[in-house]
Structure formats: C-alpha cells, structure tokens
Amino acid sequence: MILSDTTIKQLIETKDIKISPLEPEHIQPGSVDLTLGSHFLEVDSTQFSSLRLDEKITYRTIDTPVITIPPKSFLLATTHEYIKLPNNLSAFVEGRSSIGRMGLFIQNAGWVDAGFEGKITLELFNANALPIELDAGRRICQLVFCKMDQEAEKPYKGKYQGQKEAVGSRVFLDYELQKSVK
C-alpha cells in the first residue's frame, strides 16, 4: 500500500519517518520531493580499462553547488535530505517527470529498504545530446512510501547505512565474493 500525504504527515509528526531538512510544500499527494545535494562522484576512468564487480572502484569527488552533466555521462549524486525509515516501511525513489523529460535519468536502484538511514545516493545519467546543468537544493526526485505487511525481521543494516554523501559502489563487498576469498 502506497502512503497518502495525510499518512506521510502523521508519520513525520510522530517521528516514525524522519526527513531532515523537510519543507512542508515538498509533501505531495503520494510522495515527498527530495532535493539535490552538492556532493558528486565520477568514476576515475584513468584508473581502469573496465569495471569489475569484485574490485573496488576509484571515484573522483566533486563538491559544488552547480554541476553540468555532459551528454551520455554518468554521475553519482546525493540528496540533501537525510532520511530514516522505520522497520515496517520501504520506499521507491523516482525521478521527477519534469526532469526526466529533459533526458536526465535518476535512479538509486529504485528502492530504499525498511530500516535504512542516511542520505540517498542517486545515479544520474544524461541521455540527452546536450549538457544538463543542475543546482544543489532543487527538487530532483521523489520518495514513495510503501507499508509492508509486517515489520521486517531483518531491517536494513547494510554497507550503505548511515551514508552522509554520495557513496560509490561497494559491490566488491557482497557476501558471495567474501565467501570465495576465505
């Protein structure tokens, strides 16, 4: 079940959902708009001939209030807001339609697990033939909350818990890779 604005407001008021900072006008009929932070990561392509799932990736950090994403380019970004979900709610992260219509694809693997806490790392891809300029503080995506049928037995405590800026892939830490190392 997707939560309505009324339920979202109630859960924020009772502090079951935490979003900080939060502008009241960012609460939409069935979602909450989140804004772009000023921390970005770009894969350091000078370090690799290809990327592998079992190797740590080196990123170049960019801290700036305005960033231009060249055509057909990929960046990691972060939300300005820090969120905390209870153990009975998950959330979808969706790009704003108005921004998608410019050719900017916004993703975060699309899902935030119950129990997650932190800023959300966003994957940005400019599918347009023109550069796209983005300003920190602008609404970039929306969080759609889903009530689970019951509280998670094992809420999220993974490798991205508590992140406060854009965080690169940690796929090299996946448990199946760690088993093969031992």
Q: Could you tell me the domains of the chain?
A: 5-50+59-172 (2.70.40.10)
Active-site residue, from 117, 123, 165, 176: 123
Share of the chain above pLDDT 70, in %: 96
Q: Which of 64-73, 76-85, 121-130, 171-180 is the least confident region?
A: 171-180
123 is known as an active-site residue: yes
Q: What is the pLDDT of residue 7?
A: 98
Q: Hey, is 135 helix, strand or coil?
A: strand
CA–CA separation, 127 vs 131, rounded Å? Answer: 9
Peptide bond into 24 cis (omega under 30): no
pLDDT band at residue 152, thresholds of 50, 70 and 90?
A: very high
Are 57 and 48 within 8 A, CB to CB?
yes
The yes-or-no verdict on residue 179 having pLDDT over 80 is no
Q: What is the pLDDT of residue 110?
A: 73
pLDDT band at residue 175, thresholds of 50, 70 and 90?
A: confident
Are 130 and 71 within 8 A, CB to CB?
yes
What pLDDT digit, counting tens, does each position of 84-134 carry? 999 999 999 999 999 999 999 998 667 899 999 999 999 999 999 999 999
The yes-or-no verdict on residue 165 having pLDDT over 90 is yes
Give the number of C-alpha atoms closer than 13 A to the C-alpha of residue 35, restricted to the C-beta side: 17
CA–CA separation, 17 vs 48, rounded Å? Answer: 40
pLDDT band at residue 174, thresholds of 50, 70 and 90?
A: confident
The yes-or-no verdict on residue 49 having pLDDT over 90 is no
